[in-house]
Amino acid sequence: MADTPHQIKPSWAALPLELIVGVVFFAHGLSKLADVHAFASNVIIPMGLPSYVAYLVTAAEFGGAILLLSGVLVRLGAFGHLCVMAVAVLQVHWKNGLVGPGSFEFPLALLGASLALLILGPDPLSIQRNAGDYFKRPEAVGGPSRREFLDITLIGVKAAGVLLILAGIAVVAARQHLAIPEGTAPVIIVVVAGMASFLSGGALIFGKVWAYIPAFVLARLYLAGGVLLLFWVKYAVRGASAVAIGFLMLALLRRARRGSS
């Protein structure tokens, strides 16, 4: 069937899968990361596997979740999750049946979602696709220049710049209300992120083409952080607000791409 102008492209199906599957694996990976030795002792070794497999599983779950949420190397993250869930279904839950206590319905659903992401690849709002398209436009090989590829004079792009500035200020000022842990390192990371958001937003407003990629990366990270907060019940309202702002910034930035789809 021929595409119509209003038909939703299949690649958009990857976006909800990346965000929701990413959150689930982030939570499971984070719990394992907190005590990898306990995970190895209680789960991996009783299965007859060497203890180092616990580190591989933790890396696949937590690291893969970061890749999915940020939209970077999505197929790699999905492949890691697929491998972990295949082992979980066959080695741990299969004997308990499809439904009921200890059943394999949940890991099977995650396996299916990971397989779908492996097929679909990154979504249109992913860092991978947008940064990749940006850097594939070198003038030296006769392609359009980045200024020809992007129209950052649009009012929407300027609005995205304003939102980035406000988000950069807010993330620093409201750090204690965003589930950001205490400590020197988290504070430094938040301040650096806030400054980067402020500067890239300002650069967009003043029409600097180079600011497109850092602005897009920060907007996607705001979206990812908002999704994590959204499913943390205590912070759901703040998370929903961050998700809405992140989506808005990404949509506005993507409109800068001439001929984007």
pLDDT tens string 62-86: 999 999 999 999 999 999 999 999 9
Residue 143 domain boundaries: 128-254
The answer to whether position 29 is within a domain reads: yes
Please state which of the ranges 83-87, 241-245, 255-259 shows the lowest mean pLDDT: 255-259
Contact indicator for 99, 123 with CB cutoff of 8 Å: no
The answer to whether position 261 is within a domain reads: no
What's the mean pLDDT in 156-160? 94
Q: What is the per-residue pLDDT across 47-66, written as a single tens digit (0 to 9) for each?
A: 888 889 999 999 999 999 99
Question: Is residue 236 predicted with pLDDT exceeding 50?
Answer: yes
pTM comes to 0.87
Q: What share of the chain is helix, strand, coil (3-state, %, to 5)?
A: 75, 0, 25
Coil/strand/helix, residue 18: helix
Question: Is residue 97 predicted with pLDDT exceeding 80?
Answer: yes
Residue after which a domain boundary falls, among 102, 120, 138: 120
In this prediction, residue 186 has a pLDDT band, given cuts at 50, 70 and 90, of confident
Return d(Cα 55, Cα 51) in angstroms, integer. 8
Return d(Cα 41, Cα 181) in angstroms, integer. 28
149's CB contacts (< 8 A; 6+ apart) are 133, 134, 137, 257, 258
pLDDT in the model for residue 22: 96
Same domain, 106 and 135: no
User: In this predicted model, which residue has the larger pLDDT, 147 or 178?
Assistant: 178
Same domain, 166 and 111: no
Mean pLDDT of the chain, nearest integer: 88
The answer to whether position 173 is within a domain reads: yes
User: In this predicted model, which residue has the larger pLDDT, 243 or 181?
Assistant: 243
Same domain, 43 and 139: no
User: Per the structure block, which two tokens stand in for 25?
Assistant: 């694996």
DSSP code for 174? T
Closest among 19, 26, 76 to 179, alpha carbons compared: 26
Same domain, 154 and 220: yes
Coil/strand/helix, residue 257: strand
Coil/strand/helix, residue 8: coil
Same domain, 141 and 240: yes
In this prediction, residue 4 has a pLDDT band, given cuts at 50, 70 and 90, of low
Same domain, 114 and 16: yes
The answer to whether position 97 is within a domain reads: yes
Same domain, 114 and 138: no
Closest among 165, 183, 170 to 225, alpha carbons compared: 170
Same domain, 242 and 159: yes
Return d(Cα 186, Cα 190) in angstroms, integer. 6
Same domain, 165 and 232: yes
